């Protein structure tokens, strides 16, 4: 059975009655299947069992005490859009699914002669990480290629403001199957070295990290870059990404952020590495960490670290990751 993340638009009876999400969810049968649960919800986690309630979010249909799924509740539909727009901690779903969920509940609202609230735009929070890798080099004689690693697994970053970070193996697995990824020079979209969809950029996870192979264009600027790489003047790679899933754990007195899944936008040879401390996402993460610390404590202290660990779910919600 095809697994749809956002439920397709459908038209049903609507209700303007009071709404109790917990009560209606409780009324759903526990022995249902995917077809049954999809009648009540607007989104499904494709990584979970579709025949269980735990796989679904955004219930908005009224459910009778016998488990029968009834009309769409207009208050629930409005509440869903409010969450998509950041209410109650926001929607912890991929940005690419937000429009489809909005369209689903907006159709119910229109069926009830209500104009749905607009969906606020979400800017991509693109972070960059850089690595110095000795094997960034040129291969081939007649047609040279750029090879190396854009990321390495299980290596701790520098201190990012009260925590350090590392990338878990498998963090790129899903995005490599789905994303349209470019190889850029210095993260500049005006200088495209390759693209995975066209076959001029190859990416794969190996035992070390994110391995890349770029077939650069026959342009003056690309030839100049390849000469600089051969001379060793350019030796660092960077990648642009957005966090999908992460975890926090403590190793001794150090708080570690583990990137479990990321959405990859580009890989790039760079002249200078990006400084994570000045990155917008890192500032937001540091601010979030500090807000969860106990009064009078900093993100470096034991008490703050413990408070942060207890609130890691809220941290992910605040970051939209």
* Cβ–Cβ < 8 Å for 41, 59: yes
Q: How far apart are CA 33 and CA 30, in angstroms?
A: 9
E-state strands within 123-181: 127-132, 137-139, 145-152, 164-167
CA pseudo-torsion sign 275, 276, 277, 278: positive
Select the more confidently predicted residue: 190 or 307: 190
Average pLDDT over residues 201-212: 93
Give the Å distances, CA to CA, from 257 to 86, 132, 162, 238, 268: 23, 20, 10, 19, 23
Q: List the structure tokens of 139.
A: 């291969």
Q: How far apart are CA 264 and CA 175, in angstroms?
A: 6
- The whole-number pLDDT of residue 160 equals 67
End-to-end CA separation in angstroms for the chain? 28
Q: What is the mean pLDDT of the chain?
A: 79
Residue 309: pLDDT above 50? Answer: no
pLDDT digits (tens, 9 = 90+) for 225-247: 888 888 888 888 888 888 888 88
pLDDT digits (tens, 9 = 90+) for 46-91: 888 999 999 999 999 999 999 999 999 999 999 999 888 877 667 7
H or E segment to which residue 248 belongs: strand 236-251
0.85 surpassed by pTM: no
Tokens 């709404």 belong to 19
Q: Where are the domains of the chain?
A: 14-111, 127-274
Range name among 15-19, 83-87, 91-95, 219-223 with the lowest pLDDT average? 91-95
pLDDT digits (tens, 9 = 90+) for 143-181: 788 888 888 898 887 776 667 888 999 999 999 998 899
At residue 271 the predicted structure's pLDDT band, cuts being 50, 70 and 90, is: confident
- The whole-number pLDDT of residue 226 equals 86
């Amino acid at each position: 059975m095809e697994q749809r993340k956002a439920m397709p638009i459908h038209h049903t009876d609507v209700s303007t009655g009071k709404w109790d999400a917990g009560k209606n969810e409780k009324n759903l049968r526990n022995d249902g299947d995917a077809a049954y649960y999809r009648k009540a919800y607007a989104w499904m986690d494709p990584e979970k069992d579709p025949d269980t309630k735990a796989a679904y979010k955004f219930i908005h249909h009224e459910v009778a005490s016998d488990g029968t799924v009834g009309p769409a509740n207009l208050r629930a539909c409005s509440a869903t859009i409010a969450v998509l727009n950041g209410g109650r901690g926001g929607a912890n779903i991929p940005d690419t699914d937000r429009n489809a969920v909005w369209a689903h509940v907006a159709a119910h609202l229109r069926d009830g002669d209500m104009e749905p609230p607009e969906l606020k735009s979400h800017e991509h929070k693109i972070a960059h990480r850089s690595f110095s890798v000795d094997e960034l080099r040129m291969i081939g004689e007649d047609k040279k290629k750029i090879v190396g690693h854009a990321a390495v697994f299980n290596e701790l970053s520098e201190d990012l403001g009260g925590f350090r970070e590392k990338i878990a193996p498998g963090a790129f697995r899903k995005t490599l199957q789905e994303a349209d990824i470019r190889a850029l020079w210095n993260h500049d979209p005006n200088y495209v070295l390759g693209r995975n969809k066209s076959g001029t950029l190859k990416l794969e996870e190996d035992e070390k990290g994110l391995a890349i192979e770029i077939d650069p264009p026959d342009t003056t600027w690309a030839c100049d870059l390849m000469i600089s790489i051969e001379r060793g003047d350019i030796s660092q790679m960077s990648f642009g990404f957005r966090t999908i899933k992460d975890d926090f754990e403590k190793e001794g007195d150090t708080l570690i952020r583990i990137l479990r899944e990321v959405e990859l936008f580009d890989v790039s040879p760079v002249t200078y590495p990006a400084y994570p401390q000045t990155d917008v996402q890192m500032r937001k993460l540091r601010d979030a960490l500090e807000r969860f610390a106990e009064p009078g404590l900093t993100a470096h202290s034991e008490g703050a670290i413990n408070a942060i660990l207890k609130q890691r779910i809220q941290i992910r919600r605040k970051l939209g990751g």
